[in-house]
Structure 1
């Protein structure tokens, strides 16, 4: 399955103000990185992969359409899968992009 190009365009528009953002094909989707660290990706399986602060994972998983990111049968700490329906409007997309940006910023500040 190819990734949702419309969702990729929405992410691109949301992140366009940051000149440090780059794009890279990854995991069958399209990842958006800040200084080499992945913030969010349009998944080839639909929806988004979003980096999060592991300490907030339980809170964030309570949102509708959000589940742990699982790769090769293993949950990835600090990553969430967000369904397409959970980012169907710009405010919701902005919310999840912000979560990814905050988590990436914390990671880079270490």
Structure 2
């Protein structure tokens, strides 16, 4: 599956501030890792965000968010966000959630 390169570039530009970010092709898209842990990714034209299990219900209540499913199974602690709702402020909020969730994990 191809991923939205424009969205990926927007994500890359916003994540460059601060931590060392590593981009890697995964999940049929492009993921961005913080301390070796996936924080966010671009899958198709959607944003994949690690939110953590405790924050999942609140994240799913936000516009454009839905559970992330892989091979027919819902991945706990992850959401997909529709590309059409990702203006700059909304995108930055989601990226912050992903960074916080990834930074809370032990480095790999």
How many residues align structurally?
107
1:60 to 2:52 alignment: no
Q: TM-score, normalised by structure 1?
A: 0.91
- Report the equivalent of 2:94: 96
Q: What is the DSSP-based 3-state SS (H/G/I as helix, E as strand, rest coil) of the residue aligned with 2:41?
A: strand
CA displacement at 1:19 relative to structure 2: 4.8
**2:15 and 2:74 mapped to 1: Cα distance?**
27
User: Any idea what the Cα deviations from partners look like across 1:44-92, whole Å, max 9, x if unmatched?
Assistant: 3x211100021111111111110110000100011001110121x1101
Q: What is the 5 A alignment of 1:1-110?
A: 1-44=1-44, 46-87=45-86, 89-108=87-106
TM-score by length of 2: 0.92
Higher relative contact order (CA 8 A, sep 6+): 2
RMSD of aligned residue pairs (Cα, Å): 1.3
**Structure 2 gap segments, 5+ residues each:** none
Runs of 4 or more above 6 Å deviation: none
Contact 2:35-2:103 at 8 Å conserved across structures: no
SS in 1 for 2:63: coil
3-state SS in 2 of match to 1:68: strand
